[in-house]
Amino acid sequence: MKIRKRKLTLAEKLYLPAIIRGLMLTFRHLFRRAVTLQYPEQKHPLPDYYRGLPGLVKDQDDRIKCVGCFLCEWICPPKAITIKSQEISTNVEKGPKEFEIDFLRCIMCGYCEEVCPEEAIFMTHHYELVGTSRAEMVYDKEQLLQLGGVRRDDIKKWDRAAGKPGQQMSAAQLPEPVLPNGASA
């Protein structure tokens, strides 16, 4: 079967209709609300639940909250966390000697934050991560502490366990016990 090709007009040969249609589309968008951001100068506001890079935290007394229990290392699905524990002289007894997270492996799942019994590791809002080598993408303890910053700890269970004066909660500070049927005691 022979197919006859339609002959193009001169305007079509010069692509004029397509160019005009394209310009009209661009012109229409000039007056619409922009949906793009001038990143990195402008950034989207992140919701509280956003999971960025995990970071280690200190309390307001400059104490590293991690007690080197290895739970986060154990739970981490891609095995991104490596911890070496050491004995320390405070009542906490153990702390991290080395704590590394390989951000080439981390999938920001948040399991480490969920499993941590000490609230020592948190998913931060940091998500910009660059490096020129694989080694630069492995963060050590100091870098992770910088990422996490300080989180206030009002419970201070280790100080209370050591019986430090002034650290015990008074009866008035203790939360009201709630009975199984929902009524307060």
Contact call for residues 69 and 76 (beta carbons, < 8 A): no
Q: Which residue, 40 or 117, is less far from ligand SF4 as judged by CB? A: 117
Residue 133 DSSP label:
S
What helix, strand, coil percent values describe the chain, rounded to 5?
A: 25, 15, 60
Task: Please tell me the distance from the alpha carbon of residue 74 to that of residue 55, in angstroms, as a whole number.
Answer: 17
Q: Which residue, 110 or 125, is less far from ligand SF4 as judged by CB? A: 110
What's the closest the beta carbon of residue 107 comes to ligand SF4, in angstroms? 5
Task: Write out the residues near ligand SF4 by the rule CB under 6 A.
Answer: 54, 66-72, 76-78, 80-81, 83, 101, 106-112, 115-116, 118, 120-121
What's the closest the beta carbon of residue 72 comes to ligand SF4, in angstroms? 3
Taking CA atoms, 19 is separated from 6, 9, 16, 28, 127, in Å, by: 21, 15, 5, 14, 40
What's the closest the beta carbon of residue 114 comes to ligand SF4, in angstroms? 8
Q: Which residue, 92 or 152, is less far from ligand SF4 as judged by CB? A: 92
Q: Which residue, 108 or 137, is less far from ligand SF4 as judged by CB? A: 108
